[in-house]
Structure 1
C-alpha cells in the first residue's frame, strides 16, 4: 500500500508552517534519530486525545533536553482547523533537534514536521498472530516514548510479513509480554482486563492511557504486571490498540479467542 502524505515543516526561526516537497539533509533526525514523534488523529475539529499526546511528547523532550518552548500546540490546532476543517486525517508530528554536530549536539532547538495522510481505522479483527522469534525489547530511559529510532518495530514487522501474520507480539529481554508491533496489548480473563506494565519496555501508548482511564471510570477491574506468554493461553479475548482504534486477535499460535466487541470499549474511539 502506498501512502500519499502532505508534509509541512516549521523551523525554529519560522512563525508558521510551510509546505515542503523536500526536507533539508543532512539533519539530526536522519543521522542520529535525535528526536521524537506522535501519531495522532485529526478528528474533524480537534486532535483526538491531544492533551495526552502533548504530555508524552513533552516528557520525551525533557529527556532529550529539547526546548519545549519551540513547540506551540495551539498553533498546530489553528493550522489544522484553518486548512483541513471537517476532515479526519492521520497526523504524524515529528520533533527533532536542529543544527549539526556529531554525538554532541550544537543546540537544543527543534525542527518540526507534520505528515498528513488519509485516516484508516484499525481493522476490527486480526485473524492470525504469533510471538516474534527474533526481537526482544530492552529497558531504557526512553522505552515509553516514541523516538525516531524504531528498528525493533521495523524488524518485527518484517518478520510478521515474512511469516504471513496479521499481527506479531513482542517480548521484553526477560521473556515477559511487552506489546504488539505498533500497538499495546490487552487481554480479558474472567472479566478482568490485563496489560503489561511499563516495566516490560512497552510504549506508554495514548490509547493504553485512555483505555485504563476508561476502565477506572467504569469501575472495571484490571491488572498491570509482568506476564509470561503462557498467560494468554488462559485468556478469553485478546486485543491490541493504538490511536487508530482497537483490533481483536482471533488466533495466537493455534489458540482461538472470541472477537465479539467488548461493549465497555465501544465508545472510546467514537
Structure 2
C-alpha cells in the first residue's frame, strides 16, 4: 500500500474537488512556501477535533492575507464521507496561495490539496530521548501555525535518525523547552502538568489545545510557561502529543520516567 492513496485538489477557479496527483509548476507552495497545512485523523466518518483544526487554519490564512472564505468545511466532510466511509485515515489538508508574483503576493485566492493515507499509529513508548544539537526555535507571530516551511523539523528528525534516538527535544534560542521533533510536550510533577508557552516557539498543536482544555475543565493543575531543561530531570512522566495520539518518553539522559498509561489520555485520543 502506498503511503498516499489518493490526492484531491481544488483550484482557486474550480467549484469542486477533483482527483489529481500532480500540481502545476511553478506555484507559490514550491517557490516560497506560501501556505499552511493541517494533519488530521479521519475516524467514524468525521475529522477528530475538526473545529480546532479549522480554527487554526482559518486564523493562519487571515494572518497570511489569504481568503479564508474559500474554505468550505461541509464540502470537505461530504467528500470524505463519499470517498472513505467508515474508514480510519490520515488526512493532510494543504492550503497555499494561488497566482504568481515573487515575494509580494498578487492575490489572496488559494489552492487546496487533500492527501489521504493510512492512519498513522504512534509508538506508545519512546525509549531514548535527547536534545537537538542542530535546531533552535524562534517565536514569531506565525510560529504557532503549521506553515509549509518545515525545515527545523526536517533537520531535527534527520538528526534524531542519525543518533539512533526515538524522540528529540527542541529548545528555543534562549534555552527554554519548546517541543518535540513532531509533537508538543507535557510533563507531570506531583500531580501538576507543565507545557511550554507559545512564546517558546512551539506550534499551537490541536492535541495540545485539547489536552489544555481538558486539564482546565477538570481542574487538574496546569502550568503553561517558559521552562529550562532542568525541569525534565525532576519530572515523573513526560508525554508528547500530536494529531496521531500520545507517546510516553521512557528516558531522558540518565532520568527514567514512568510509562504507565494515563487513563484520561486514552479516552481523549482513542
> What's the TM-score bracket when you normalise by the shorter of the two chains?
over 0.9
Which residue matches 1:207?
Answer: 207
Describe the superposition over 1:29-49 as per-residue Cα deviations: whole angstroms up to 9, x where unpaired.
000000000000111210000
CA distance in 1, matches of 2:217, 2:63: 31
The Cα shift of 1:218 comes to: 1.8
For 1:1-270, what aligned pairs fall within 5 Å after superposition?
3-270=3-270
The Cα shift of 1:219 comes to: 1.5
The Cα shift of 1:2 comes to: 6.5
CA distance in 1, matches of 2:165, 2:100: 40
Describe the superposition over 1:125-152 as per-residue Cα deviations: whole angstroms up to 9, x where unpaired.
0111111011100111101000000000
Describe the superposition over 1:162-221 as per-residue Cα deviations: whole angstroms up to 9, x where unpaired.
000011010001100000011000000011000001111100000000001111222211
CA distance in 1, matches of 2:78, 2:264: 33
SS of corresponding position for 1:3 = coil
SS of corresponding position for 1:80 = helix
CA distance in 1, matches of 2:165, 2:254: 12
Count of residues paired in the alignment: 270
Normalising by structure 2, we get a TM-score of: 0.98
Describe the superposition over 1:95-145 as per-residue Cα deviations: whole angstroms up to 9, x where unpaired.
000011111111110000001100022211011111101110011110100
Greater Cα offset, 47-56 or 9-18: 9-18
CA distance in 1, matches of 2:210, 2:182: 16
Unaligned stretches of 5+ in structure 1? none
CA distance in 1, matches of 2:141, 2:185: 21
CA distance in 1, matches of 2:72, 2:21: 23
SS of corresponding position for 1:267 = helix
Normalising by structure 1, we get a TM-score of: 0.98
SS of corresponding position for 2:62 = helix
Describe the superposition over 1:244-270 as per-residue Cα deviations: whole angstroms up to 9, x where unpaired.
110000011121111001123220012
SS of corresponding position for 1:130 = strand
Unaligned stretches of 5+ in structure 2? none
CA distance in 2, matches of 1:121, 1:263: 18
CA distance in 1, matches of 2:156, 2:243: 19
CA distance in 2, matches of 1:46, 1:200: 32
The Cα shift of 1:69 comes to: 1.2
CA distance in 2, matches of 1:263, 1:74: 33
CA distance in 2, matches of 1:237, 1:192: 11
SS of corresponding position for 1:268 = helix
SS of corresponding position for 2:46 = coil
CA distance in 2, matches of 1:44, 1:7: 21
